[in-house]
Structure 1
């Protein structure tokens, strides 16, 4: 799931547009990991590395 945030100044000017990806939280199993909270964040540098690897190996992305 993608989460989008807009950081604004006190004068309502847009300072930053931020986005992050995290895993679906509804896959927890009661009794096993039901009370654990976590998010998997994919950083921009990792996206670039993955896309470079895909291009180099001529893989397909779906």
Structure 2
């Protein structure tokens, strides 16, 4: 079996606890679709306040 090669974007450290990297248009569109679906499924309307709880 041949080894598979995956190109991973290089992250740029921007501060404690987070980083950033460039994504292509396809990845950006997919992320927007997922976010829009989440808002729709959770019935979050424009300008509705909401909280995001992070679970480690």
Larger Rg belongs to = 1
Q: Does TM, scored on the shorter chain, surpass 0.5? A: no
Which structure ranks higher in relative contact order (CA pairs < 8 Å, sequence separation ≥ 6)?
Answer: 1
TM-score between both structures, scaled by the size of structure 2: 0.34
Structure with a larger share of its residues in strand = 1
